[in-house]
Amino acid sequence: MKSNRLLNFITNKITLAVLTIISAFTAFFFYSCRANYVFLDYTVFNGISYLLLSLMIINTLLLLFLYIAEAYGLKIKERYFSETKTFAALSIIGFALCIVFAIGVMVNMIVAGEETFPVIMKMAAKNFPAFAAIATIVFFISVFPSLKNKTLKIVTVASTAICLFIVSLWVLAPVCNYKITSAPLVIDSGEDYYSVVFATNDEGTGYVEYEYEGETVRLYDEAMGRIKGDSKIHTVEVPKEQLDGNTYRVGSKRVVEAYSYGSYTGKEVVSQNYTFNAPDGEEQQWLCVSDWHTRLDKAYDALSYAGDYDGVIMLGDAVPGLMFEEEIKDYIVEFGGNLCKGEVPVVYIRGNHETRGEYAAKLPDYLGMESFYYTASFGNYEFIVLDSGEDKKDSHPEYGGMVNYAQYRENMTQWLETLEKSDKKVVVLSHSYEICIEEDLSSRAFSALKDLGAEYIISGHTHTNEFFEYNGLSVYLDGGHKNGVFIASKITLSADSILFQACNNEGKVMFSQSSAL
């Protein structure tokens, strides 16, 4: 009797309808987890992830067909199933696969953790309009023919039309209160201009406006005369001599759609005024942060104890990878803007996790940087900024054959060897203190740095806060996020010393040491 009740429950049309919905959402979220497929394919066999996705889709179609057969009466069941046992067996298979797949996807999303879970949600948001449209149409086709009540038919048609209208509006012209989302991030990458980078909550134009020599100057985010309007991130190059010690503001006009002839634009927004000053004194204080990996709240808590500072050093590893423009916007541009407040310069060092994902190759354009290895001078001090690239060989399956960092590090080392020693005090900034994973390149890089008068390297990557000697130079590891604790640093440069101080997100002093410079 119990087995009959269970069988009746499984083959009931309501159960089959619910299972179909669960199975469809399971396939949808499994597809949204595809950024993690490399690990599944690497540990089992190449293609296992897409095999599982195919099985989920097939099971969804099976459950939908079983629901239709049950909902539309015995004639359909008799036409497609010679015996009710066949119908029952397929229902049990569909039920079992649905539960197994759903549990598997839920476990996958839980295991992803707080760092990767937002990526899954962004992937889901990207695909949801198409999924919603397909689901709405399938729902209408499946339900409408079985309705007998005229009122229910009208409600079903109206609901379907409304859902499709909302999905279309979401895709074509999303409604939002257009605004600038943070203070500008002002990057000094050693060029004769600053890259003023800011973000808005939707796509639009971007400009910087200020007074210079009695004239109002407005510079746009543009490409050879064409003002850009297809991004939420806006990057404007401003000559250093015009921004140093000056007051400026940023602005943007929303661009809904741009055509060959004209465009459809919306609201224009303008920021408050910011006064920018680059440090040039004998004593300079630099805020230093690394390896925040999306943990902005803890990072802000740690940085709130830093006090005043003259500039910001961002040592990289903001996210697991750059799959979306929003990740650059949220975790680099807005985070950096909130730290520098549009008033002091940022020296940005790329982390190995910013080398991954679809948008990794676009990062230089978003940040307005010609190179990720360069020199930047502030008064009596010079930063040599190096880019350690990835931390594994190019052949590693994580990279999917999309990297060439061995040659990149060779080029960087050759560039480093061409630098001439200056009369400034030199500090090296690199995400990884090893600089290059190739021993010969690392040896050459350290030899060149010592010839240039460098004594200190400030780095991240290891998620530890330490001070030690390596290859003849002193290494300071900033800290970053580890086991729920965030450590950030403050570096004080003075005429004869360099002071390293570190504090965690609870205000506890983790490190304080002064060394000769």
Q: What is the pLDDT of residues 126-180, one digit of tens each?
A: 888 888 888 888 877 777 777 777 777 777 778 878 887 877 777 666 678 999 9
**Residue 398: predicted pLDDT:** 79
Q: Where are the beta strands (DSSP E) in 163-259?
A: 185-187, 193-204, 207-212, 215-220, 222-223, 226-227, 231-239, 247-258
Q: Which of 234, 257, 276 is the last residue of a domain?
A: 276
Q: What is the pTM of this model?
A: 0.84
CATH of the domain at 207: 2.60.40
Identify the band that residue 88 occupies on the pLDDT scale cut at 50, 70 and 90: confident
**Residue 171: predicted pLDDT:** 67
Q: Mean pLDDT throughout 318-344?
A: 95
Terminal-residue alpha carbon distance, the chain = 85
C-alpha separations of 439 from 361, 409, 443, 445, 474 in Å: 26, 11, 6, 10, 18
Q: Is the same domain home to 314 and 210?
A: no
What's the pLDDT tens digit per position in 305-321? 999 999 999 999 999 99
Instruction: State the Cα–Cα distance between residues 476 and 136, nearest whole angstrom.
Output: 56
Q: Whole-number mean pLDDT of the chain?
A: 90
Q: Mean pLDDT throughout 54-59?
A: 93
**Residue 279: predicted pLDDT:** 96
Q: Is the same domain home to 410 and 272?
A: no
Identify the band that residue 355 occupies on the pLDDT scale cut at 50, 70 and 90: very high
- How many domains would you assign to the chain? 3
Q: Is the same domain home to 90 and 162?
A: yes
Is pLDDT at 66 greater than 70 in this prediction?
yes
8-state DSSP, 230: S
In sequence order, the 6+-apart residues with CB closer than 8 A to the CB of 126 are 324
* Residue that wins the pLDDT comparison between 399 and 102: 102
Inter-residue contact 341 to 274 (CB < 8 Å): yes
Q: Which domain covers residue 297, as residue numbers?
A: 277-516
Q: Is the same domain home to 31 and 106?
A: yes
**Residue 3: predicted pLDDT:** 61
Is pLDDT at 376 greater than 90 in this prediction?
yes
Whose CA is closest to 313, among 515, 482, 500?
500
Q: Is the same domain home to 287 and 238?
A: no
Q: Which of 253, 276, 299 is the last residue of a domain?
A: 276
Is pLDDT at 17 greater than 90 in this prediction?
no
Q: Is the same domain home to 210 and 351?
A: no
Q: Is the same domain home to 488 and 349?
A: yes
8-state DSSP, 250: E
Q: Mean pLDDT throughout 185-198?
A: 97
Instruction: State the Cα–Cα distance between residues 367 and 513, nearest whole angstrom.
Output: 33
Is pLDDT at 76 greater than 70 in this prediction?
no
Q: Is the same domain home to 282 and 269?
A: no
CATH of the domain at 462: 3.60.21.10
Q: By percentage, how much of the chain surpasses pLDDT 90?
A: 64
Q: Mean pLDDT throughout 484-501?
A: 95
Q: Is the same domain home to 322 and 444?
A: yes
Is pLDDT at 225 greater than 90 in this prediction?
yes
Q: Mean pLDDT throughout 388-408?
A: 88
**Residue 84: predicted pLDDT:** 65
**Residue 506: predicted pLDDT:** 95
8-state DSSP, 200: E
Q: Is the same domain home to 360 and 299?
A: yes
Q: By percentage, how much of the chain surpasses pLDDT 70?
A: 95
Identify the band that residue 2 occupies on the pLDDT scale cut at 50, 70 and 90: low
Q: Mean pLDDT throughout 237-254?
A: 97
Is pLDDT at 50 greater than 80 in this prediction?
yes
Is pLDDT at 204 greater than 70 in this prediction?
yes
* Residue that wins the pLDDT comparison between 89 and 309: 309
**Residue 6: predicted pLDDT:** 77
What's the pLDDT tens digit per position in 433-479? 999 999 999 999 999 999 999 999 999 999 999 999 999 999 999 99
**Residue 165: predicted pLDDT:** 81
Q: Which of 172, 197, 226 is the last residue of a domain?
A: 172
Identify the band that residue 79 occupies on the pLDDT scale cut at 50, 70 and 90: low
Q: Is the same domain home to 290 and 227?
A: no
Q: Is the same domain home to 292 and 266?
A: no
Q: What are phi and psi of 369, to 5 degrees?
A: -115, 130
Lowest mean pLDDT among 41-50, 284-293, 294-303, 333-342: 41-50
